[in-house]
């Protein structure tokens, strides 16, 4: 089953209060849209990015990642975002289309794989990634029938008290049969209070919709404000640091250590508080990275000691080298 990815990145992000497009705000040195883009690249080579606000910035960035941008102007809802990509979708040879918002960096590859694995043998025309939240207020609720299939997504404003009691919510991540998607989004209308075209309207058109739950509730978080950006960065920091510790790296103060998603560290290396390891960096085994060191896009050999406050960018440090405190390379 071949899959193409559609990333929805046209939103303005008014609450960010920024001249920069929302999806270009960064977590650990990478724009928000980079995270779903990497998921898409892990699934297949064809990725389409829907852009709108800030397209002068977002378009070139997506091009640098090998993603084809399509302009949505003016934005008229998620359904309209897919409509503007219809020509490209019709030409696609993919069987199915994975749809991911560009402002949801916490979605895990494992959750997407789970969604695809459930969707493939189901015979359904659509799959929805869902999450269970202690406080689902504001999210669209997932309504299932007695067989477990999703029958509708009910938005908060339209929900009865019974529906509001449902704690399973829509993450806005979908996998949809391409032929069905092309046909269905051509038929949705904007006959609603906001006058927008909602992608969720296609749920009731589908012959079978499955729901697959995320591993963590945080995966459902979209980024719409600076505080949400900071929280997502904290979650990502914790995930990355935990992974390194599980692989044999000693991190003295995980809350005060920042490691990019593309950096790699070998076992028995010690990371002291305040360290930043950014970009694509590789740290060898049995190193000691002292407090407040900054390492970016660099290779550090095995058995090295990087003195506190050292700054290393775009450099290679050989094995068993000691870098003096505050040294710049």
User: What residues act catalytically?
Assistant: 15
Pair 237, 106: CB distance under 8 Å: no
Give the pairing type, strands 305-306 and 322-323: parallel
Q: What residues contact 138, with CB distance under 8 A and at least 6 apart?
A: 156
Phi, psi of 57 (to 5 degrees): -95, -45
Burial of 297 (0-12, 13-18, 19+ CB in 10 A): middle
How is 249-302 classified by DSSP, letter by letter?
-EES-GGG-EE-TT-EE-TT-EE-TT-EEESS-EE-TT-EE-TT-EEES-EE-T
How is 160-180 classified by DSSP, letter by letter?
-HHHHT--EEEEEEEEEEHHH
Pair 295, 306: CB distance under 8 Å: yes
Pair 104, 171: CB distance under 8 Å: yes
Q: What residues contact 123, with CB distance under 8 A and at least 6 apart?
A: 208
d(CA 197, CA 190): 5
Distances (CA, A) of 274 to 25, 117, 216, 251: 22, 40, 27, 10
């Amino acid at each position: 089953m071949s899959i193409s990815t559609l990333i929805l990145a046209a939103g303005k992000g008014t609450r960010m209060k920024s001249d920069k497009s929302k999806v270009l705000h960064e977590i650990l040195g990478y724009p928000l849209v980079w995270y779903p883009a990497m998921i898409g690249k892990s699934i297949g080579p064809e990725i389409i990015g829907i852009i709108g606000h800030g397209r002068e910035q977002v378009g070139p960035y997506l091009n640098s990642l090998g993603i084809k941008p399509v302009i949505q102007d003016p934005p008229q809802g998620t359904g309209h975002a897919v409509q503007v990509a219809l020509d490209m979708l019709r030409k696609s040879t993919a069987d199915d289309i994975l749809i991911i918002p560009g402002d949801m960096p916490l979605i895990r590859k494992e959750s997407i794989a789970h969604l695809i694995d459930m969707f493939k043998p189901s015979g359904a025309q659509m799959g929805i990634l869902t999450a269970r939240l202690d406080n689902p207020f504001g999210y669209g609720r997932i309504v299932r029938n007695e067989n477990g299939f999703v029958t509708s997504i009910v938005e908060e404003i339209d929900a009865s008290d019974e529906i509001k009691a449902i704690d399973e919510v829509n993450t806005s991540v979908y996998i949809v049969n391409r032929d069905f998607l092309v046909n269905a989004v051509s038929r949705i209308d904007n006959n609603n209070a906001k006058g927008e075209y909602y992608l969720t309207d296609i749920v009731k058109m589908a012959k079978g919709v499955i729901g697959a739950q995320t591993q963590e509730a945080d995966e459902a978080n979209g980024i719409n404000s600076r505080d949400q950006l900071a929280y997502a960065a904290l979650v990502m920091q914790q995930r990355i640091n935990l992974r390194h510790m599980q692989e044999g790296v000693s991190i003295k103060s995980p809350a005060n250590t920042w490691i990019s998603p593309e950096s790699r560290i070998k076992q028995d290396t010690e990371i002291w508080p305040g360290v930043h390891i950014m970009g694509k960096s590789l740290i060898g085994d049995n190193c000691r990275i002292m407090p407040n060191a900054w390492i970016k896009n660099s290779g550090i050999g095995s058995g090295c000691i990087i003195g506190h406050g050292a700054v290393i960018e775009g450099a290679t440090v050989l094995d068993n080298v000691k870098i003096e405190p505050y040294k710049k390379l």
